[in-house]
Structures are given as structure tokens and as C-alpha cells.
């Protein structure tokens, strides 16, 4: 089992994707909207905590199947959302398909950025976490850190969004970042 310091470092590592996507959402929104920021952070924190729990539960049944495809699912979702964001940058006056205000977009981003956390749950099951009560502390730490990092990312995106948008369209930047995260996940799992 992991020490508290190891769990905090693990939580920070898993939260980096949430942080990055939250920065992009803040840049797109460019206004500090507490409700939107809290909902996004909650969804990211919730799914970052839920996925390791799901991985832990499913390990005994579907370990080999999940491990074989989890990175492809995350890559596919992030690629799809990233390409949609880039194509949105070139639409004039039409409704954007990736809307940081929209619950559906937020939910897809939360799921896509947390799929790699499924492998963490699998690793918990393989490293001595035998009861759900033992998994509660790690998933709580992961969820809280992801929540806080998402809040911070959104705030930084809003604060520095005007500077960024003078140089590049935020939708293009966001799409490229999401596609990059997808490739990072894919390369880590295939390498």
C-alpha cells in the first residue's frame, strides 16, 4: 500500500490533465463564473476519484480487457473533442460544438481526462488494496486534488485568457492541447 505522500504525488500526477483542460476552459470563458468553475472542478474531481474505484472493482472481472483498451478510449475521446474544438475556431456565428458552459461537454472532458485513472485502480488491486475501505483514502485524495487543481486551472485560464487570445484562437489552443494529452496517454500505454 502507498504512503500518504505517494498518494498526494499520484493525485497531483492524475490532476495534471484536469488542470490543463480547466486552463483551456478558463481561456475560452474569460470570465470568472463561480457556478461554472465549481461544476467543472466537481466533475473532474468526481471522475478522477470514480475511475480508480471502478478500476479496483472491475479488476477481478475485466482486468485484461480494460488494460488493453483504456488508453485507446481516452485517446479517442480527447481526439474527437480536440478536433471539434479546432473546427469550432473556424466557424462563423454558428453554435460551437464544444461549449465549456455545456454540461455535456464538461462531462465528456471529465470522463476523457480520467480514463487513465482506471489503470490506477487496477494497480491498487494488484498492490494489496483488498477492501473498499482501503481504497477510500486514495480515491478521496485523488478527487480532492483534482478538484483543487481544476479550480486553479480555470482561474489561471480566466486571468491570463486575454493575453493568450491575442496570440491564438483559444479553441485552436484547446484542441491542440486535448489532442496532445490524448497522444501522451496513448504513448505512455503503448511505450
Q: What is the mean pLDDT of each run of 10 residues along the chain (191 residues)?
A: 87 89 89 94 97 86 68 80 80 66 91 85 80 93 97 94 74 79 84 76
The DSSP letter of residue 95 is P
Q: Which of 71, 37, 35, 21 is nearest to 51 (CA)?
A: 71
Which pLDDT value is given to residue 51?
94
Q: Which domain covers residue 64, as residue numbers?
A: 4-190
The pLDDT score that the predictor gives to residue 143 is 97
Q: Alpha helices, DSSP H only, in the chain?
A: 4-29, 34-89, 103-114, 117-126, 132-167, 170-190
- What is the structure's pLDDT at 94? 54
Tally of domains in the chain:
1
Burial of 191 (0-12, 13-18, 19+ CB in 10 A): exposed
pLDDT at 48: 96
Measured distance CA(189)–CA(186) in Å, rounded: 5
Q: How far apart are CA 177 and CA 159, in angstroms?
A: 18
- Looking at residue 53, its pLDDT comes to 94
Report pLDDT for 185: 80
Amino acid at each position: 500500500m502507498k504512503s500518504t505522500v505517494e498518494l498526494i504525488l499520484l493525485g497531483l500526477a492524475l490532476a495534471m490533465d484536469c488542470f490543463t483542460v480547466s486552463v483551456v476552459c478558463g481561456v475560452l470563458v474569460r470570465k470568472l463564473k463561480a457556478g461554472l468553475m465549481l461544476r467543472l472542478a466537481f466533475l473532474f474531481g468526481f471522475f478522477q476519484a470514480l475511475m480508480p474505484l471502478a478500476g479496483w472493482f472491475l479488476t477481478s472481472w475485466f482486468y485484461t480487457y480494460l488494460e488493453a483498451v483504456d488508453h485507446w478510449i481516452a485517446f479517442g475521446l480527447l481526439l474527437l473533442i480536440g478536433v471539434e474544438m479546432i473546427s469550432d475556431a473556424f466557424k462563423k456565428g454558428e453554435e460551437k460544438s464544444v461549449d465549456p458552459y455545456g454540461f455535456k461537454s464538461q462531462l465528456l472532458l471529465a470522463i476523457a481526462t480520467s480514463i487513465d485513472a482506471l489503470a490506477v485502480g487496477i494497480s491498487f488491486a494488484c498492490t494489496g488494496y483488498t477492501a473498499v475501505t482501503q481504497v477510500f483514502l486514495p480515491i478521496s485524495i485523488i478527487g480532492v486534488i483534482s478538484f483543487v487543481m481544476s479550480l486553479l486551472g480555470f482561474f489561471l485560464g480566466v486571468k491570463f485568457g486575454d493575453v493568450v487570445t491575442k496570440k491564438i484562437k483559444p479553441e485552436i489552443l484547446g484542441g491542440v492541447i486535448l489532442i496532445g494529452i490524448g497522444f501522451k496517454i496513448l504513448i505512455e500505454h503503448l511505450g
